[in-house]
Structure 1
Amino acid sequence: MLLYKQKKSHGGGKGGGNRFLISITVLGSAGPIRFVVNEKELVAAVIETALKSYAREGRLPILGSDLNSFLLYCPIAGTEALSPWETIGSVGVRNFMLYKKPKMENDAAIVDEKQRIERKGNGSWKSWFNKSLNLKISSH
C-alpha cells in the first residue's frame, strides 16, 4: 500500500494570492536582496522583511530597523515612492529600490552650520595663505 502526500494549495492558505520572487536593491549595497512575497502583502511589510533580511546577512552600510525612515521605489513604474498601504502585487513588477528618507532639518540649524563653515573656511584659507608667503620669503 502506497501513501501519497497531498500538495498544499497556495491560493487557499494564509493571505491567499500568488507568491513571487522580488528583488530589492539598497542604495550603496553590494547587491540586491531577493525573497518570496505574497502579491497581497503591503509595501510596509515588504520593507520590514527587506530590512530584517539585510541585517541578518550583515550587509553594509548599516541601515537600521525603522521601516518609517525608508521608501520603496519601482524604477520602471515612475519616480513616485510606493505608498506603504498599497499591495506589492498592484505595481506589476518585481524589481524595486530601497532608499533612506532624507533627514529634515530646520532652517535655523542649516543657516548656523553654513555660517560656521564660512567663518572657519575664511580663517583657514587666510592662515594657509600667510603661511605660504612666510615660507617663500626667506632671509639669507
Structure 2
Amino acid sequence: MIQLFVFLHVLSAIMMGIYLMMPFLSMRIQVLTGHAQFGFVSVLFALNRTGQMALIIALLSGGYLVSKSPHSLAWLIATIVIFLALGAITGVLGGAMRKSLSEPSGSKIQEHLGKIKSMSVISGILFFLMVGIMMFQF
C-alpha cells in the first residue's frame, strides 16, 4: 500500500514541476499579441489548474506517508507552511489569470501581467524549496 502512495506522491511532484517552468513561460506573455496572447494565457491557466490538482494529490498521499514514518516536528511544520504557501500563491496566480481571461479579445491581460509574472516567480521558488525540503529532510 505504501508503494502506491509513494507512486502517487512522486507522480504528483512531477506534475507540479510546471511551477519551475512557469516563471520562464510567463515572461513570454508580453512578447505575444492579441489572440496568441489570450491562447497562451489560457494554456498557462490550464497548467496551473493541473498543478493545483497535483498539489491536492501530494497533500493526501504525503499525509498518509507521514503517518507511516517518523519525522521531526520542525520538518513537519516547514513542509506544511511551504505547502500551504504554494497553494495560496497558485490560487492567487489562477485568480489573476482568470481575471485576465475574462475578455476574449485579451485586452485585460496587460492589467494583470505583473501579478501573473510575480506570482509565477514566487510559486517557482516555493516549489523549489518544497522539493529541497522533501529530498533533504532534517
Looking at CA atoms only, which structure, 1 or 2, has the larger radius of gyration?
A: 1
Q: Which has the higher contact order (CA 8 A, sep 6+)?
A: 2
Give the structure-2-normalised TM-score: 0.22
> Whose helix fraction is larger, Structure 1's or Structure 2's?
2
Q: Under a length normalisation based on structure 1, what TM-score does the superposition of the two structures give? A: 0.22
Q: Specify which structure has the higher proportion of strand.
A: 1
